[in-house]
Structure 1
Amino acid sequence: KPHAVTARTVIPRGVINMLALLGWNPGTEQEIFSMQELIDNFSLERVSKSGARFQPDKAKWFNAQYMHHKSDAELAALYQPILREHGIEVSDELAGRAAGIMKERATFITDLWDLTSFFFVAPTQYDEKQAKKYWKGDNPAMLRELREVLAGIDDFSLENTERIVHGWIEQKGYSLGQVMNTLRLALVGAGKGPGMYDVTSFIGKEETLRRIDNLLRNLKPGE
């Protein structure tokens, strides 16, 4: 997928790191350098005499590495303008938390909206392939049962919800994959995203139940 490379898209330190290595070789396998490390290690003797060759894929790799190492607070500052463009007004804490959960899958800051939009916007459509695979048979009834389990949880933290739901799945003898993928369809609308308890703890109990109700009400199960 092509990207329009802009000042907002790239991490400046990643660009500096990449440019430094275009015509200079440190003599080691190290590729990620802090600014001070570049200053300390640079020498004219290791500058290549041949022409430097720009590699777009390597540039993307550098950008991804620098983004993956940013803190949630740093990511929030970069991601908030994109969220506001989509009409999302949230705290820096929530913006950074969403970005932090999914940053390992992103190359550019602008990738984050596609990767995290479901944290902020409930699905209004459901992926046809996922629905055909999971919204059939016993799964709708199983999701109704799961809704009741979730409704009875007071501490909706990731760890506590996971403990209670997994205990219920084991007790009922259900397939973990069937339960989680059916829940993913309800909460995300597609077969993507992080672990489901990352999603439930982020959107909270009320929104989790509302999204389950939306699926139960709006999508007819398959045969």
Structure 2
Amino acid sequence: MRIRVRYAPSPTGHLHIGGARTALFNWLFARQKGGQMVLRIEDTDRSREVAGAEEKMVDALRWLGLDWDEGPDIGGKFGPYRSMERLDLYRSLANRLLEEGRAYPCYCTPEELEAQREEMRRRGVMPRYSGRCRHLTAAERRRLAAEGRPFTVRFRVPEGQTVSFEDLVHGTVSFETDGIGDFVIVKSDGIPTYNFAVAVDDHSMQISHVIRGEEHLSNTAIQLLVYDALGFPTPGFAHVPLILNESGKKLSKRDESVVQFVEQYRDLGYVPEAVVNYLALLGWSPVGEREFLSLEELVQEFSLDRVGKSGAVFDPVKLRWLNAHYLRGRPDEELLKLCLPHLVAAGLLAEPPSAEDLEWARRAVELYRDQLEYAAQLPELAGWLKSLPDPDPEGERILEDPSARKAADAFYQEISALSQWTPDGIHAAFKRVQKTTGLRGRQLFMPIRVAVTGRTHGPELPKVLNLLGREVVLGRLREYAGRSRTLPGEN
């Protein structure tokens, strides 16, 4: 069998992490099987279409490192690859179903349909189309058509049947047709509905496997009815598990606890390798206990039989951990390039940065390389290097300890005369202060750290002080001691 898969988003917004995972799973399956990946834009929902959304989604997919063999941007022999450019095909097949009696025109108005649904809800019945226009006589249809009444085209769902299929993730899945109701395949404006268009397109583009989210399971029954009515062979189906929030509920686009769009991760300074690595682990697991997998390794190992059935919880902490790993592996200049826009945006560097700014940024990146989880975090981590923040309550208690002033005074005197302002030279100065004051450990280092950085935790203190520079360190120690008194070494 020739493997052909597709990713078919609607241009209604940014690329969501759920959509990105679907695209990734399709891409991995195609590349591992030596098959083809198709990008198709399902743009029939004109009311929700967002200008520029298609271009942004394409950019986000390419940022992730995904490509495709056919699509609206590169063409292919099964095109066109936008649904609205395929209306003639949908219309001809809908007319065929009408002629064969497998579909019929429905003249019910939106108000009448809502009244039908409300009556069913009142009776405690699951709302679905009542079948009112299904039983119109030919004469009644001619009369309504002569009146110019707008109509939709509804599929005539066979009664008393079971629709079953073998899902490559969930196994046997069955639906009773009596619970489906006659569904619309062409709207009153002549545009096909999703379930009709997707079945037609998947067949005409010779898609062999449909890999998509579990939320589409119920749609599959409807699409299988269309396949059967048109005499089309069916593709294989694999419905991957839902992505859940940390409460175990389906992740909603309105859930503010999670950054949900690929473009946002790119703008925050995540790297594509980390995002791809994490998305692959959402519902799929490799053999063994490996956590870090490159795109090439994922292609080698991916298989649908290791996709789970239960929902996959999106864990932002794990994604940040993965991203931190990949950031640490970045060359210095690449990491600097990732961080520079965020330092400029935070006002820590000029635009464009001067040579002095760039040197400062290099040292800041070096200082926080092991702590950085994503590039936009650096201004928050390193902002105190430019402007001393007020200490938190714990820091205030440290500075109020009587030994804190003793440590600061002795250290001020020691570094005022320091000949080598280097991490090693500063470390040696701390050693001498230990001898002269008898202060050690937290009693010595914490007051200096809080007085100079405003924080109780951070990278190695000699490296921090070296990056700040002697004059800034002396100035901040003077500020701590108070402008009204003279520190040792001053006249």
Aligned CA distance change for structure 1 residues 124 and 55 (closer, same or farther; 3 Å): closer
- Contact persistence 1:73–1:92 (CA under 8 A): no
Aligned CA distance change for structure 1 residues 217 and 134 (closer, same or farther; 3 Å): closer
Amino acid at match of 1:56: D
Query: Any runs of at least 4 consecutive aligned residues in structure 1 with deviations exceeding 4 A, and if so which?
Result: 1-5
What residue is the counterpart of 1:191 in the other structure? 456
CA–CA distance in structure 2, aligned partners of residues 168 and 63 of structure 1: 40
What residue is the counterpart of 1:214 in the other structure? 479
Aligned CA distance change for structure 1 residues 163 and 25 (closer, same or farther; 3 Å): same
CA–CA distance in structure 2, aligned partners of residues 55 and 87 of structure 1: 33
Alignment counterpart, residue 334 of structure 2, candidates 56, 59, 74: 74
Q: How does 1:26-105 map to 2 (within 5 A)?
A: 26-39=286-299, 41-44=300-303, 46-48=305-307, 50=309, 53-57=312-316, 58-89=318-349, 91-105=357-371
SS of residue in 1 equivalent to 2:281: helix
What residue is the counterpart of 1:117 in the other structure? 383
Alignment counterpart, residue 158 of structure 1, candidates 403, 423, 429: 423
Moved more, 196-205 or 104-113: 104-113
Highest relative contact order (Cα 8 Å, sep 6+), 1 or 2? Answer: 1
Aligned CA distance change for structure 1 residues 20 and 33 (closer, same or farther; 3 Å): same
Amino acid at match of 2:416: A
SS of residue in 1 equivalent to 2:373: coil
Aligned pairs, number = 218
Alignment counterpart, residue 170 of structure 1, candidates 416, 435, 438: 435
Aligned CA distance change for structure 1 residues 91 and 71 (closer, same or farther; 3 Å): farther
Unaligned ranges ≥5, structure 1: none
CA–CA distance in structure 2, aligned partners of residues 219 and 72 of structure 1: 44
CA–CA distance in structure 1, aligned partners of residues 465 and 331 of structure 2: 22
Q: Per residue, is there more helix in 1 or in 2?
A: 1
- Contact persistence 1:26–1:46 (CA under 8 A): no
The structure number with the bigger radius of gyration is: 2
What residue is the counterpart of 1:19 in the other structure? 279
- Contact persistence 2:284–2:308 (CA under 8 A): no
TM-score, normalization by structure 1: 0.82
Moved more, 123-132 or 81-90: 123-132
CA–CA distance in structure 1, aligned partners of residues 459 and 449 of structure 2: 10
CA–CA distance in structure 2, aligned partners of residues 116 and 3 of structure 1: 24
Alignment identity in percent? 21
Aligned CA distance change for structure 1 residues 37 and 99 (closer, same or farther; 3 Å): same
CA distances 1:137-169 after superposition (whole Å, capped 9, x unpaired) = 243243122111001112111012102321331
CA distances 1:165-184 after superposition (whole Å, capped 9, x unpaired) = 21331243223322211111
SS of residue in 1 equivalent to 2:414: helix
Moved more, 185-194 or 53-62: 53-62
CA–CA distance in structure 1, aligned partners of residues 336 and 330 of structure 2: 10
Q: Deviation of residue 51 (structure 1)?
A: 6.1
Aligned CA distance change for structure 1 residues 124 and 110 (closer, same or farther; 3 Å): closer
Unaligned ranges ≥5, structure 2: 1-255, 350-355, 486-491
Q: Deviation of residue 2 (structure 1)?
A: 5.0
Pairwise CA RMSD of aligned residues?
2.8
CA–CA distance in structure 2, aligned partners of residues 149 and 176 of structure 1: 17
CA–CA distance in structure 1, aligned partners of residues 453 and 302 of structure 2: 51
SS of residue in 2 equivalent to 1:79: helix
